[in-house]
Amino acid sequence: MGAGITNFGRREASWKDLVVEAGKALFDDVPNLDKKDVDSFFIGAAQPERWTYQTHVAPLAAELLGIKPRRVVARTESACASGQIAIRYAWLAVASGLSDVAVVVGVEKMNTKFMNLSQTSMMNVGNREFDTAMGLTAPPYFAMVAQRHMHLYGTTEDQMALVREKAGEYASANPYAQFQKKISKEDVLNSRMVAPPLKLLDCSGITDGAAALLITTEEKARKFTDTPVWILGGIQRTMANSINEMGEMSDWLSLRYLAKDVYDLFNITPDDIDVAEVHDCFTISEIMEYEELGFCKKGEGGKFIEEGQSYIGGKVAVNPSGGLLANGHPLGATGVRQAWEMVMQFRGEVPDKRYVSGAELGLAHNLSGMAQFHHIMLYSLNRPREVKFGR
């Protein structure tokens, strides 16, 4: 597994430029990879049609990278998890024998001259007629999640602000992050209100960026590197789409059941996870994810961050990259950036300040839309045992 990344942020670069930057970074990372050997290509991109007026992007991006894939050429779209799904499909193609050498790119160009276009494009991830047209876009929805969690469990705005403070602490040592400045809890609490109780610094940013991965067989990986990173696998789950079908807002049952299935399938427990990159699109999201991923009991997510359990050195290092809150969230790129972080962590190629020493097992989680659809991938420093799906 090789990996490459661009700087995340408000970039002058075009969508095509971002693809090329990430691809070049990947091929620089794996210098003995011959482009002629790449037989499959997957690109995660949520809405290039709206943000860059470009469709049919898989063959276009392959051409930009100078590769001529002949087994699988595909674009994946699932809003915020578009990139992780591209990884999953590439992994499945290699695991099944259909592909030997696959390249994955996740990319999004969200900043345009017309920011109203960016905002209205985000409405598309919900049920447009019944949810988003009624005002249930992401900030108000996650604000209601926060309100409900606060009501039931006593979660506080201070605890949510600590999530952003942690993100800034680690992102200050991440040269690729959009927001590399340390942010105090007070900075978060004093930032502009967006949707009560969520303030500006409780929210991830509108961001441009891309990341890329090489996924290949064990035999070929040994030719490219002495320190391969293994994909153990991953699964997805959804139980509803429209908000009125999702039930209690403070229960993300799709994620809870998905996490249990992942742990059972791979014969692990939450205590085995050393490092986790989770989908902190809002500060309340990370607190919810502590609970639903089983890192703490339901209702104790606020206490978990307050006690330092999600910091490096705590029970599990969560978002040592700075997460979405500090890196920004270019939809198609996020899941691939998380995988890039896992590769760099296992290689020990991150600054000491955010290095999870001794980490062997990593979990990456993405949610899509209004947390209806959840996705988990597991990454490992060690060769995985065989897993039989469909049992």
Q: How many CA atoms lie within 13 A of 304 on its CB side?
A: 25
> Which residues lie closer than 8 Å to 272 by C-beta, 6 or more apart?
361
Task: Give the integer Cα–Cα distance in Å for 310 and 319.
Answer: 8
Tokens of 247: 């039930």
365 is catalytic: no
> Which residues lie closer than 8 Å to 275 by C-beta, 6 or more apart?
316, 317, 318, 320, 342, 345, 356, 359, 361, 362, 363
Which residues on neighbouring strands pair with residue 118, listed in sequence order? none
Q: Of 80, 203, 281, 296, which is the active-site residue?
A: 80
Q: Do the Cβ atoms of 8 and 334 come closer than 8 Å?
A: no
The beta strands (E) that lie in 255-372 are given as 275-277, 317-318, 361-368
Q: Do the Cβ atoms of 256 and 288 come closer than 8 Å?
A: no
Tokens of 304: 């978990």
Residue 123 in 3-state DSSP? helix
> Which residues lie closer than 8 Å to 159 by C-beta, 6 or more apart?
287, 301, 302, 303, 305, 306
149 is catalytic: no
Q: Of 149, 279, 329, 374, which is the active-site residue?
A: 329
Q: What are phi and psi of 75, to 5 degrees?
A: -110, 135
- Which residues are known catalytic residues? 80, 329
